[in-house]
Structure formats: structure tokens, C-alpha cells
Structure 1
Amino acid sequence: MPARNPPSTQWLSLIDQPADLKAFSPRMLEELAAELRARLVKLVDQTGGHLSANLGVVELTLALHRVFNTPDDILIWDVGHQAYIHKMLTGRLHAMDNVRQRGGPCGFTRRSESEYDPFGAGHSSTSISAALGFALADLRRCGPQSTRRHIAVIGDGALTAGQAFEALNHAGETQANLLVIINDNEMSISPNVGALARHLTRLRTNPVVERLRQTGSALFAQSGELGAIFAQSRQGVREGLQQMLAMPTLFESLGLRYFGPVDGHDLPELLSTLENIRQMSGPVVLHVATQKGKGLSVAEADPVGFHGVAKNSLSQSTTSRPEPMVSFTQAVGEQLCHYAANDPELTVITPAMIEGSGLKAFYKRFPEQLIDVGIAEQHALTLAGGLAAAGIPTFVAIYSTFLQRAFDQLIHDLAIQKLPVVLLVDRAGLTGADGATHAGSFDLAMAASIPNITLLAPADTTELKAAMDTGYQYAAQAQPTGPILIRYPKDRCLTIDAPMPDSLDRPRIINSASNPERSVLVIAIGSLAAELSTAELPDITLVSLLQVKPFNQAAINPLISQHAQTIIIEEGATAGGIGAQISAQFNAGAQLSKRIRLWGIIDAFIEHGSRVEARADCELDFDTLVANIYAIFQQVSS
């Protein structure tokens, strides 16, 4: 529920740009923090969006904009989903009432939106690399005497990705004025895993370090030269203690000075710490401990559940909303539980997406059979390859947009070696409010170009079960031919009233035209086939194609030949997509080329908005599809 009696607007309306914060007293900043939280809860309830992460960085955002001189100082938010407060303070307060809506601000940072967003984001772990690039450019142009600062705010979860370590490793060898702020809330979306999470926890809870921090806090809070001197001396004492304890931090081992942890909700401590670090040169890491969901009791109690919230989910009773239909994601999770109940070796791998990939129930029932590798997509696929090579039936649950980050592993480690890993590719197609960075536009074209891959796009519950059963049985084969990729959208899972073919590579006939020579063949891939099966269509042939690679020419080409025109519809990029490959193969072997229309995601990055709006941009929404099918049928039947 939203906070009761939110503070009346008094300070927020006075801010047109971050520089206005420099006139605020500490008391005013504390009151502004409460006001921002109330405004945040209200707007997220109105539009849906990311809540817990933004509640956790209110004080940190205020302190950063108070101390540094953005946009001259470069401030980059990793992922960008925690930048709502940043956007409110940088001239987008009223626009944020439409965040993630068509025409409103993006839910992530983007360069085209504001000069205060110097580098766009959406995926994790890119901020340090980008900020280091800015810092090195400044070093080259202005030399080490430059006073410009370059800040990357990255979560402890995002640090589990290899790119973040690559950037830290590089930064430690430079003189760049780079400040890496670790927003340590012990979570990414789910609780963090791995050795790095344990390392940060030790730093947060080390009693010697904590006593040192408390003892020196009064001196460190001094402004000007004394504070800067003590910052250096305290670091020296701290390094000595750590050497005695044989516990240097990872960051210091990489050549970056480390400070912290500091309380990310203590504004005075944040301000004094940042003021003193601002006077230093070279790469620095500041470890800030925050609480995800801070200030909203339900979000504090369930930060995972309130990571992303639906529209009106805070102000309405959950019991008043009807239960949604089963989604593809839910159905996948249930089917995995069914397999695991009878197979203790079956293993599911996910890169920090237990909840998002529908694995919460699976993890509760079979915790030893699920591996959460953190935000490490490349490792996830190669780890799966190793398990599969050892004979373990292995599934990888991953979003389409994140599979892009492991393209080389898909080729090098799985396909070339013909390893029977089953990839469960969620959020395939257009995802809507998260926009271009999260759309699953490219998995079909990407996977279709790789040899030794079987690519399945189930349309409904029946096809999904058939695809997963095939994948599970195949994972135990002695002579596998390569990985299986099963892709499905963020959508409800319907049921088509049509019999399944005797083989997955044959088309499933949903409707047959009475006079195909004067009619249209519609080959629909994935859930689009289920949607069209509910429409009042003219006398056409409608088929669902579950297995789109390898492509069964012998089963499809005769259908194409029999009809006046063919339409191939896919919720994926048309350039290099399944339709393009079917068309090329048919026309290469046909004596007379036929007109084959390809409908899919256009050659553009689709803006954020609802899923319906995103599909409408590509003329893939239900009404437009039906209208266009009617129009072509009338042309060929007249």
C-alpha cells in the first residue's frame, strides 16, 4: 500500500535542475528524500515500473547530485532501472508521471532523453566500462589536472557479470578520475549468489573495519583539506589492518582505492564521504550499503516481489483482481517440476532470473537441482555445456534479450560440439514497457543462422509440452545433434483446437481453405498462431509451424505451391528471420517463384509502450493482422 499521509509537496517543486540542491540544508534534504519516496510510490502505482530499487537509492541520488556538478561531471547508472529519482531531479519530474508509457520517459537511462543521461542502459554491468571511456577521453584531452569526475553507480548483483570485472581490471591500471559506487543491497532482482556476494558481505560485517569507520567518522566528516588528509590516512590505516588480517579487498588487489562501506541512507555521512572523495584523483571504489525497498514497509519485507510492480497493484486489493490465465512462463516452470520429480539429475541453470523465469516453485521444491549463476549469461551456457557433456539433462532458463550476451557460447561451446542443452528462451518477441533494450527481436534470426541447432516456437499449451518433452528426452540421447532452443513470449498460453501432426517438423493444420488455388496460406510461428485461431478469418489455410529449424521443405513447399499467396508471420526480426529462410529455400528449388509475404518485427528498435502498441508499430497486433489477411484474401479470390 502507498505510504500513509505522504508529505505535501514543498521542496520538489523548487528543483528545476540538480544544481538547485546545493542551496538545500541537511534538514531540507531529509524532507526532500521523504517527499521523493512518496512521489515515487504514487507514480509507479499509476504506471507500473521498478519500485524497490529506486526506493533504495533516494539518499544516494540526492547526495550525488548535491556534491557533483552534473552534467559536466559524468554520472552513469548501471542498468538504469534505479534512475527514477535521478530523472525526477533532472528536469523530468512531471514527465515521469508517464514513465514507460508511449511518449513518456524510458524506464532506463537513454542519451536521447536528457543531457543528464550521458550513456544509455537497460542491461547490466556496462556502467564501469562506459564511465571509464569518458574518464580516459577526459584524461587524454585535459590531462591529470582535470577536475571533472566520472561516476558509475553499479549494484552488487551487476558486479557478478564478467564485463564489470574486465572494466575494473582495466581501470586499476589507469590514472582516470573514475569513481565506482557499489550500491550494495545484497540483491540484483533476487538475492545475490557467489563468492563476490560473500566478499561484500564480509566487508559489510567486518567488526574491525566497522569500528575503524565509526572512530574516524568525525574526522572524515571534516570538510576541506583536513578531511581529504584523513581520508588518505584512514585508508592507510585500513590497508595496514587488512594486511595484518590477510584480507585485502578485491578492489585494492586490482589497483583501485576502496572506501566503505558507508550507510547509503545516512545523508550526512554520504555527503561528507563524497565531498572528500571528490578531491581525490585516480580510480576509487566507494562501497555503499543500502536497503532495497527502503521507506515502504511492504517493499522492505518483500523487495523481490516489489522489484517491478504492475499498474494499480499498490492501491488496489490483490483479492479484487481476477486471476490471469496461465502464461508460457508459468507453464514452463510447472513442466520442469514434473520432470525433476522423477529425475534427480535434471539440472536447471538461470542467470539471476529465478522469479522472472517462473522457477520460484521449482527452486522451493528442488533447490539442489537449480543453479543461479548470477548475472553471468556466458558462464551459464558454457556451464550447461559441461554438465551436458557429463551426461546431465540440462535446461537453461534465460530471457531472449539476455541470450544475446552469450552468442559466442551458443556457437562455440554448444552448437559446434553438438551438446544437448535445452534453452528455454523467455520474453521472445516484443515485451512492451521495457522498450528496445529488452525486446526479444533477434533470437529467431540469431539461432536460425547457426548450424546444429533445433529451434522450436510453440504456439499453445499442447505445443509447449510437446517441445519440452522432446527437449527432455533428447537431453539424454547418446548421439545428440546440438542444442534445442524453445522460444516463447511474455504472454498468456492459449490452447488451439486442432490436432497435432505426427512429427514436430510438420505443420499443424488449424484451418484448410476449400479452394487453395484462390486463397491464402498463413504460416504463423509461435503464439501468433494461437491468437489467429480465435479470429473470424476468411476461407484461408492457417498453420502453426512448431519446428522452424531444421525446416521440413518436403512438408511445407507443397502447401506453398498449392496456394495463390503465402504469408509467413513471426514475432521476430524479418531480416534473416524464419520467413526469409523459408522463402529463400522455396524459391531456390521452385521452377516458378511465388509471392511470399514476410510479416514480422520491422528493421528498427521499437520504443517502449504497451505490448499491444509495440506490436502495432510492426502491424503485428491482432486487429491489423486480421484486417491485412482479409485484404490479401480479397485480392487473390476475386
Structure 2
Amino acid sequence: MLEMINKPNDIKKLEVKDYKLLAKEIRRFLIKNVSRTGGHLASNLGVVELTMALHLVLDFPKDKLIFDVGHQSYVHKILTGRKGGFAHLRQFHGMSGFPKRKESDCDAFHSGHSSMSLSVALGMAKARDLNHTNETIVAVIGDGALSGGMAYEALNNMVQLREEKKNLIIILNDNKMSIAENVGGMSAYLNKIRMKKEYVDLKDNVEHSLLKIPAIGKPLTKAIKKSKDSIKHLFVPGMMFEDMGLTYTGPIDGHDLPLLIDTLEQAKKLEEPVIIHVITKKGKGYRPAEKNPEKFHGIGPFYIKDGEVISKSSKPSNTAIFSDTLLQAAKKDDKIAAVTAAMPEGTGLKKFGEEYPERFFDVGIAEEHAVTFCAGMAANGWKPVFAVYSTFLQRGFDQVLHDVALGNYPVIFGVDRSGLVGADGETHQGIFDIPYLSMIPNLTIMAPINGREIKEMLLYALNHATGPIAIKYSRGEAETLLEESFQKIEYGKGQIIHRGKDAVLVAVGNIFCEAYEAMKLLEAEGYEIGLVNPRYLKPFDQKLLDELAQTYDCIVTIEEGILHGGFGAGVMQYLYQNGYTGRVRNIGINDVFVEHGSIKELRQMLKLDGKGIADSVKEMLSN
């Protein structure tokens, strides 16, 4: 069956009897290909029938399908003629693991972060109505994403479509999981709805019976539907979605293809926004993923037989060192608390939660709330540590500035996945944290160059913080370079690693190892190069910079982040404002979004590997 799917809408050529076989082939295709490249598997296995139903009912690319987050779009890519791209899924210059408009006009909107789909869908619906066109617009959002406040802002705004008699379809893909198991009030609310299947059956029977009554059946049914005291409130507590102006249907079986098709066809006919509550099983069809969907949310290459990852490093990761240090510190200090936004496994805090459940807080996919929650804890005498991916902390920028830094509360941010992340691409690269954090008063930013520094910086922050501190560290194995020559952490102080006379490299955090290699390459060609570990990006070690200015005619800053507003820009500003007459070069990432690929490949492309840095320094010295 899959051989017949080569372009959008090809699925409509199949016979109904072949749908079940196609679903089986899609799952087999996903498991086979993701086992080779890695990727998001469990979420895609769970939406096979749902995505098939959408493609059978919708017309692509005319109709618009918006995936929240977008990691569950693999089946959509298969059904829009992109099977061949899976050989290089999430690889350099290969197919993205997320929807990309530049990749296909069937991808209505790019995504990568949570809780955005409803706002996008509502905006597209309003544009459709202003354009006087008739395309169907569908948003697919997971139950985990409903913990994000932006989703509620959109829901609150959707009542206007009901008043204007305009259609919009929302699919609530309810699998009881976001990445980790869902938490909070919305999860509890949906659990209540799931338990009330008898309501759905009774509602249908009552309406069917009423419609049979001559003359008064139809108006009576309409009156009951409109009534706030309708039968729904007897069976489903709150009926929040209906009260917000949405017609709610469900929950329905997300793996019952005929039921999904029929429900979607009916939803298309409604002149109002409708939410279809679909129950799916994450990892369906592959036992290891069904048993451990969190592991298979995003996984590297694995053995199909047992689901074990093929190449798992025995070396500790930066994340593991940070989380283990936090756990050890919490044994001695009962005021330390750990906070995550639905990422206990990814940020390494799962062990903390198991050992100290009363001091561990998973707030769901709600980074803004997590930041201000931490501010409240810190204001009341606690030491909250919020471990969060760099790309997701962006979403809490206002809260960091207004709620934490303005009050100078000692919240510690473990900024994980800082710098290039790799296969997840543009939406996940942690290359913006220096510019967006360094502009905030009262906020200290630390950048460790190896695993030892991660540990010591966190302990220093826990013991000495009088205001907010961000410690930024990269994804992957912890670096061991120069651990044997570790020097004690002092607030605001950098470290001269090597002295030279031709130029000095000032390299930030995780890119330090590449600068070290560049120094060795340049020394092999006869140059004498200095090397500095700044440790603190804010505040600058001004005394150290003054010493460098007096010693070197060429100062080179190196960072794995955006140059505009970055560390190097601040160093250059300081030096020239204080009368430096030598040359300064900032090496980093220009004003671009960085595509997906391995970190090694991306560094080579951006000339941020040892050779690229060495070439840039030689060019500078030769002019």
C-alpha cells in the first residue's frame, strides 16, 4: 500500500479495505527508519490512524493542518510524498523532523515549540474569512500542550468564530503524555472526561429520540444544546470547552479509523469551532515504545528487536553532572528545590523527584509559570533550581526579567542544551541565550568549560547566590579538558589558561575545546597564542580584560551563539570604550537560524571547529 503513496492525496485512491494494511505498513516503515536515524518515534506511532483520517477528509495543500510542537508530523510527511526523505531524517541537509514550509507546501506552518497551534489556527481562520476562501483549518494539539498558557489565550479568543458562524477544527490528541507523564489540573480534568463515556452514548441517544418527535423535536433539541443547564453538565464536570464557546465531541477512539473519518466529516459541516477529543496510545504497535513512551519520545538509533539504543556513551553528560550535583547538595541543604517544565528525564531531574518528591515540582509545559513560580519560592526563603533547555527558557524571558531579576531573587537557572543542539534544528538550537539573558540587570551568567566546572559553579551558586544566576551548558558528553588544573571559582573572575604574544583567544563555555584545538593548530605553525576561559559572561572580569588589552594587539572572542548582542559584542564595546587601540575579532554565529545536523557538521559549516577558528585567526593576523 505504501508504494502507492507518492504525492499529496494519494491515500484517497486506496480502497477502504486497505486502510488497516496501510496503517500497519506505516508503523513498520517508521520503526525501521527511525531505528537507523533516531527521531521522535512514540508520538508518531500513536497518530497513524488520526493522520490517515485527516488526509482522507482534507484536501492538501488547500486545507491547512497545524501540528502543535510538530514532532508528531512524520506520518503526515509520509502521506505527502516524502518517504524518500526518511533515509536522511534529521541529518545534515536532510529532511527535518518538524513541519517546514520550505520543505513542502503541505506543511502549513513551521513548529517546534509547544502550545502555539491554536493561536496559529485561529489566525489562519480569520485570514481565510477575510480572504473569502473556504479551506478547512485543523490544529492538532496534545493534552500535554494544553498546560501551556498560550493555548488558553487562544481558546478564550475563539468564541468570536462561534458568533460569526465560522468553522475551525481542533483535535485534542490525548495520550496522557507530553514527553513525560502529564501533570496538573488539565490532566485531571481530561481524566474525568475519559471516565464518562456513558455521557457520549446517552447524549446521542437522547438527541436521536428527541429529533423523532413531530413538530417540536428539532427546536427542542436546539434549545437543550444552547442551555447552560443541558444534560452535559449532569455527566461531565465543568464542560470547560463548551463553556468557552467550543462544540465538544468525544472522547473517541483515536485508532478507530472509520469513526475518526465520520467525526471529521461531521465537524467540517459545523459553522462554529469544534474540538474533537481523541484518545490515542503513544508508541502503539511497537511494544518497547508502548512500555516506555518517554524513552521513545526522542531516541537515537536503536535495535528494533529490543529497543535498546545502539551507541550509548559510558561517559557522563553535562546534564547528568548538573543533576547529580544538585541531588548531592540537596542532601545537605533542605531548602533546595528542583523545578522542571515537563522535562524531568531530559533535564536529569527525575532522580531528584524520586528521592525528594516534596521538593520536586514538574509544572507541565509552562515555562513562564515555572520561572515566576521559582521567584515566589525564592522570595519566601527557598533555593529553587529551574533546569530548562535554552530554547524553552526563551519563552519565559519576560518572567526572568520582570519577576526574578527585578526583585533580585536567587533563582538558579540550569540552562541545558545551550549552544548547538543538532538534529532538532532551528527551533531547538540554544544559540540565543547570551543575548537575551545578558541584557537583564542583576542576572549573573556562568559558562563552564568542562564537567568539573559545571559541578563547582552549581555548588557556588547554591551556597553564595544573592540574586539570579544562569549556568549554561551544552548537550552531550561532559568535556574533561583541563579538569586536572581546576582553580577555585571566584565571583566574576576569569582564568588565563595559556599565555602568548601574537593573539589571545577568549572562548566561552562549550566552544572552549574547539578554541583549544585552534590554539594547538596555530602553535604548530609557529604562532604564540594565548587562551582564556572567561567563566563569567556577566559580569565581565574587567580586570582580566584590562590585562589582555595591555598585553595583546589582537583579541579574539569565540562563542557558540549569535554574535549580535553576544559575549564578544560586549567585550568589544568595553575594550574600545576604554581606549583599546588593538584589533578585536568576534567569532560566532551570524544573524541566521541554524539548520539541523550533527554538532560536528554544524561547527564545520559555521567555521566554529578548531580549523575554522584557526583559519579566522590567521586571516586576522595576516592583515
TM-score by length of 1: 0.90
**Which residue does 1:508 correspond to in 2?**
495
**Corresponding residue to 2:51 among 52, 61, 64:** 61
8 Å contact kept, 1:504–1:546: no
* CA 1:231–1:305: 2 relative to 1, 3 Å: farther
**Which residue does 1:524 correspond to in 2?**
507
The CA deviation string for residues 309-334 of structure 1, in whole angstroms up to 9 with x for no partner, is 10245468849746332111110110
* CA 1:408–1:502: 2 relative to 1, 3 Å: closer
* CA 1:529–1:231: 2 relative to 1, 3 Å: farther
Unmatched 5+ residue regions in structure 2?
210-217
**Which residue does 2:214 correspond to in 1?**
none
The CA deviation string for residues 418-458 of structure 1, in whole angstroms up to 9 with x for no partner, is 11100110111111111111111111011111111111011
Ranges of 4+ aligned residues in structure 1 off by more than 6 Å: 213-219, 228-239
Partners of 2:489 and 2:335 in 1: how far apart?
30
Unmatched 5+ residue regions in structure 1?
1-10, 220-227
**Residue 413 of structure 2 is aligned to residue 423 of structure 1:** yes
Partners of 2:463 and 2:318 in 1: how far apart?
20
**Which residue does 1:568 correspond to in 2?**
557
**Corresponding residue to 2:338 among 348, 367, 381:** 348
Judge which range, 436-445 or 64-73, deviates more: 64-73
* CA 1:84–1:318: 2 relative to 1, 3 Å: closer
Question: Superposed, which structure 2 residues align to 1:231-380 within 5 Å?
Answer: 240-245=230-235, 247-314=237-304, 318=308, 321=311, 323-380=313-370
* CA 1:360–1:622: 2 relative to 1, 3 Å: farther
The CA deviation string for residues 124-146 of structure 1, in whole angstroms up to 9 with x for no partner, is 1111111111111122232xxx6
Structure 2 residue matching 1:309: 3-state secondary structure: coil
**Which residue does 2:572 correspond to in 1?**
583
* CA 1:501–1:71: 2 relative to 1, 3 Å: same
- Residue 462 of structure 1 and its aligned partner are, at CA, apart by 2.3
Question: Superposed, which structure 2 residues align to 1:84-99 within 5 Å?
Answer: 84-99=74-89
- Residue 524 of structure 1 and its aligned partner are, at CA, apart by 0.8
Structure 2 residue matching 1:31: 3-state secondary structure: helix
* CA 1:319–1:201: 2 relative to 1, 3 Å: closer
Structure 1 residue matching 2:18: 3-state secondary structure: helix
* CA 1:322–1:98: 2 relative to 1, 3 Å: closer
**Which residue does 1:150 correspond to in 2?**
137
The CA deviation string for residues 348-374 of structure 1, in whole angstroms up to 9 with x for no partner, is 111111111111211221122111111
- Residue 575 of structure 1 and its aligned partner are, at CA, apart by 0.8
- Residue 471 of structure 1 and its aligned partner are, at CA, apart by 1.2
**Corresponding residue to 1:103 among 87, 93, 99:** 93
**Which residue does 1:199 correspond to in 2?**
189
* CA 1:120–1:317: 2 relative to 1, 3 Å: closer
**Corresponding residue to 1:608 among 557, 572, 596:** 596
**Which residue does 1:75 correspond to in 2?**
65
* CA 1:272–1:239: 2 relative to 1, 3 Å: farther
Report how many residues are paired. Answer: 604
Structure 1 residue matching 2:388: 3-state secondary structure: strand
* CA 1:320–1:271: 2 relative to 1, 3 Å: closer
Structure 2 residue matching 1:347: 3-state secondary structure: strand
TM-score by length of 2: 0.92
**Which residue does 1:490 correspond to in 2?**
475
Judge which range, 249-258 or 65-74, deviates more: 65-74
- Residue 542 of structure 1 and its aligned partner are, at CA, apart by 0.9
**Aligned residues with identical type, % of pairs:** 39
**Which residue does 2:533 correspond to in 1?**
544
**Residue 149 of structure 2 is aligned to residue 162 of structure 1:** yes
8 Å contact kept, 2:301–2:311: no
The CA deviation string for residues 499-540 of structure 1, in whole angstroms up to 9 with x for no partner, is 415624222222222xx2xx2111111022245446634132
**Which residue does 1:225 correspond to in 2?**
none
**Residue 606 of structure 2 is aligned to residue 623 of structure 1:** no
**Which residue does 1:4 correspond to in 2?**
none
Partners of 1:550 and 1:385 in 2: how far apart?
21
Judge which range, 540-549 or 200-209, deviates more: 200-209
Partners of 1:356 and 1:172 in 2: how far apart?
37
* CA 1:20–1:117: 2 relative to 1, 3 Å: same
Structure 1 residue matching 2:66: 3-state secondary structure: strand
**Corresponding residue to 1:36 among 26, 45, 51:** 26
The CA deviation string for residues 533-590 of structure 1, in whole angstroms up to 9 with x for no partner, is 4663413211111111111211222123201311111111111111110111011112
8 Å contact kept, 1:430–1:439: yes
- Residue 179 of structure 1 and its aligned partner are, at CA, apart by 0.5
8 Å contact kept, 1:43–1:96: yes
8 Å contact kept, 1:444–1:577: yes
8 Å contact kept, 1:348–1:394: yes
The CA deviation string for residues 219-270 of structure 1, in whole angstroms up to 9 with x for no partner, is 9xxxxxxxx9999899789983222347231111101000000000011111
Matched letter for residue 606 of structure 1: V
